Amino acid sequence: MTAKITFDEVEVGTELPARSFPVTRATLVRYAGASGDFNPIHWNEKFAKEVGLPDVIAHGMFTMAEAIRVVTDWAGDPGAVVEYGVRFTKPVVVPNDETGALIEVSGKVAAKLDDNRVRVDLTAMSAGQKVLGMSRAVVRLA
């Protein structure tokens, strides 16, 4: 965990350190076990393709959780996030190989609000496509 960022240290336009998160089929199996979401689109290639997907896809909530890690790492306190929402725009396709997929996340302070809060806008990409839209978090800083 990094040191806590203070409200006075932050300006609109401040960029958060970008991160990349690898996702393999094994990652999806572990997430399914932890979340209880065993939908076959997340582990069964034949089923995923039968329902019109290009391949197995990552859980939306997993993708969302990986993206917010950029904010919690930057803020130094997961409890500092007071609001978070996204729109799912494209699935993270996870091929059945050693590499899997990569979720690349960047963030920027978009607004300073009252009560030591800032709005952070996130960009989450995988395979050159934006996978989360309107990805925004409100963070209360020290």
Cα separations in angstroms, 80 against 96, 116, 138: 36, 10, 8
Every domain of the chain and the residues it spans: 7-140
Structure token digits, residue 18: 């970008």
pLDDT digits (tens, 9 = 90+) for 26-63: 999 999 999 999 999 999 999 999 999 999 999 999 99
- Rounded to whole angstroms, the Cα distance separating 131 from 74 reads 21
- Map tokens 């990094």 to a residue: 2
What pTM was computed for the model? Answer: 0.93
Taking 60 as the threshold, does the pLDDT of residue 1 lie above it? no
Specify the CATH number of the domain 7-140.
3.10.129.10
Q: Where does the pLDDT of residue 4 fall: very low under 50, low under 70, confident under 90, or very high at 90 and above? A: confident
Q: What is the pLDDT of residues 84-141, one digit of tens each?
A: 999 999 999 999 999 999 999 999 999 999 999 999 999 999 999 999 999 999 999 9
End-to-end CA distance of the chain: 15
